[in-house]
Amino acid sequence: MIPLFDSHCDTLSRLHKEGGVLRANSGQYDLDRAAGFGPRAQFFAIWDQSFETLHPFFQECLEASPDDMMLCLNASDARAAAEKGQLAAFLSLEGGETVDCSPERLEHAWHKGARMVSLTWNHDNVLGGGAEGDGRGLSGAGRAFLRRAKALNMLVDVSHLSERSFWDLAGEMAGRPFVASHSNAGAVCAHRRNLTDEQFTAIVKSNGFTGINLYASFLTDRKPAAWEHVCRHIEHFLSLGGTGHIGLGCDLDGCDELPGGMRGVQDLDRLYNLLLRKNYQESLVREIFYENLLRVVERVCDT
């Protein structure tokens, strides 16, 4: 089977707002369709709602499918889930607002299972600058929040930071891995949410990870987006020394337009097979689809 470890989806937030269940729904991700991959793991983002609001819904999802998914806190847990044929379910926090930008509430969320955090969403907040903000860097509160995340061995996500905040954070990480959970190459598509070559290189040097986003607007400014556009971002990052540091951060249920007629997670085999047809070694494709993200989770969360 094709393995799959994706670093970002908005399915929990969508289902909580619109109704539906994780087992099977009309969105872009559900357990039944993800079961076509194995081993499989997913970071479920808590976004646009507080952790305390959305966490009980996540617990309901776990309790409704105890044989098919398990909450995972590290790579060891993900391997245990794979041995049982279960989805390894990880939790991430998209924006400090989900925990009131509070280090103490961040730690509370960590105790309940959150293992990845981004300081901002697109907009500025008290922690620092967002991708669509005024360009500010990290505040003193942001640096304190970051220190708590580091002390908890959480993955720190830079996907929604302003460039100045990105570089402030990179300096604070002091060689520790950090990630861009769902960002593409700015040199291929000049969207403000994509990474410059220098930013991506900094992530690589940290021993971190970048997840390729399938949102059409981040892939190309010439619609419609195609699978070939996804390959261009992968190829560009590989040309910058990204082998071992890229994977998938598809942004499912956070996208209203996906490449190549994609309907949901079930269609990711198209990308896997396209890369093989382009003469990528299958070992490299499996790294992109699963192993690279598992490796950075192990580096950070299993310590």
Residue with tokens 């061995």: 153
Backbone region of residue 267 per phi and psi (left: phi > 0; alpha: psi in -120 to 50; beta: other values): alpha
Does the pTM of the predicted model rise above 0.85?
yes
Mean pLDDT score, 55-71: 97
Average pLDDT of the residues of the chain: 97
Report which residue type is found at 114. A
Backbone angles phi and psi of 106, in degrees to 5: -60, -45
Say what the pLDDT of residue 254 is.
97
Mean pLDDT, residues 95-119? 98
The secondary structure of residue 131, as a DSSP letter, is T
Q: Let me know: does 214 contact 250? Beta carbons within 8 Å.
A: yes
List of residues 6+ apart from 237 with CB closer than 8 A: 185, 200, 210, 212, 245, 246
Nearest-CA neighbor of 169 among 142, 198, 141, 132? 142
Q: Which residues, in sequence order, are CB contacts of 198 under 8 Å at separation 6+?
A: none
The topology (CATH level 3) of 4-301 is TIM Barrel (3.20.20)
The predicted pLDDT at position 229 comes to 98
Reported as a single tens digit per residue, the pLDDT across 273-303 is 999 999 999 999 999 999 999 999 999 999 8
Q: Which two tokens stand for residue 202?
A: 């900094």
